[in-house]
Structure 1
């Protein structure tokens, strides 16, 4: 696992530290580390004068069970908040939505116990799984965001899936341009999350 550090602004006492816990969509599969979502998001925030460091705890192929198993590493980093993006590989393996629900529930409970706020990123089911499966899976994220009062970004791949030039040849993983679009679309939600943390401020 590669840890991609976000851009640090001056005045380290004001720095905010986030951890991004996810799968290949967070890790930046097939891309240079600098083009992964956490690194690009950190640069965009830095350009806007926000003092943020983002640790990339993404592992390609990981499931919600895997994320739960390595949550201790995230807790050890003592982040101010967590961007949680897991569930795509559970879906690709055809797991019952109850499986990612239970694992994400356990992750979010432990983060709540540690007083670490969460930005929960949802996953849209592929069309071939059918409408009933899609509705049930997407409801998992809505349900858990409400239960834990988390900020919810409903679709992590919004604007990328099925859009020419936004995914690698596998049609699943974003290109560098796709990641940039993910950052652009998710930025308002991220800023809402940072405001909730109460530590975001413009650099002088």
Structure 2
């Protein structure tokens, strides 16, 4: 076989492979990760943030997605609500909502957090996006009454809006020094990978249902 024929054959095989590979699709699902510093990637290098690691994991699993980093460090649920219209400019098809951690850290009124999150969910649902809500837990030093009131926000509004719930964004990562940065709050790359691994099974049904 001549060199020219070999080259042409390889080009055809390569092109055919791209056509079959959903990760190489020219029309990827727009997935918005919408949250605070835990999403934005505080203290992490480029490529190590939650959206970056999620993008890599989903591509490896064969999903054609474009993960958009919609995290903003320091955001409360009120801040997230205030920039909702901006987030919709990305026209997300699937949204992961990760907000409320800073509300808890600041001891903000749980009823306000609940209402802000309800409005955020309503905004994305009215837009037509599929939603994965990730839960948060209040710091335990704020007292039993506050903790109970705060923690129940997420399962209750997930049920109210009939959206998928990942019970706790930092599940298996919170308070583990091996999985967090020196501040003990923000995950390191290993911690982020654990979060991604936990979330993907909750996310896949939303990706597979695309029409």
The TM-score with structure 2 as length reference comes to 0.86
1:81-131 deviation per Cα after TM superposition (whole angstroms, max 9, x unaligned): 111000000111101111110100111111121111211010011221222
Q: Does 1:74 align with 2:87?
A: yes
Residue 194 to residue 132, structure 1, CA distance change in 2 (3 Å): farther
In structure 2, the partner of 1:3 is: none
How many residue pairs get aligned? The number is 190
Q: Does 1:199 align with 2:210?
A: yes
Aligned mates of 1:20, 1:193 — CA distance in 2: 14
Q: How do 1:35-114 residues align onto structure 2 when only pairs under 5 Å count?
A: 35-114=48-127
Aligned mates of 1:115, 1:66 — CA distance in 2: 22
Aligned mates of 1:61, 1:149 — CA distance in 2: 28
Query: How far did residue 33 of structure 1 move?
Result: 2.7
Aligned mates of 1:168, 1:100 — CA distance in 2: 26
Query: How far did residue 179 of structure 1 move?
Result: 0.4
**Equivalent residue for 1:18, pick from 22, 31, 55:** 31
Highest Rg: 1 or 2?
2
Q: Does 1:177 align with 2:174?
A: no
| RMSD (Å) for aligned C-alpha atoms | 1.4
Aligned mates of 1:153, 1:192 — CA distance in 2: 13
Aligned mates of 1:105, 1:150 — CA distance in 2: 12
Query: How far did residue 11 of structure 1 move?
Result: 2.1
The structure 1 segments of at least 4 consecutive aligned residues displaced by more than 6 Å after TM superposition are none
Tell me, yes or no, if the aligned pair for 2:134 and 2:167 is still in contact at 8 Å. yes
In terms of fraction of residues, the more helix-rich structure is 2
Three-state SS of the structure 1 residue aligned to 2:171 is coil
Aligned mates of 2:81, 2:206 — CA distance in 1: 22
The TM-score with structure 1 as length reference comes to 0.89
Three-state SS of the structure 2 residue aligned to 1:123 is coil
Tell me, yes or no, if the aligned pair for 2:177 and 2:184 is still in contact at 8 Å. no
Q: How do 1:127-138 residues align onto structure 2 when only pairs under 5 Å count?
A: 127-138=140-151
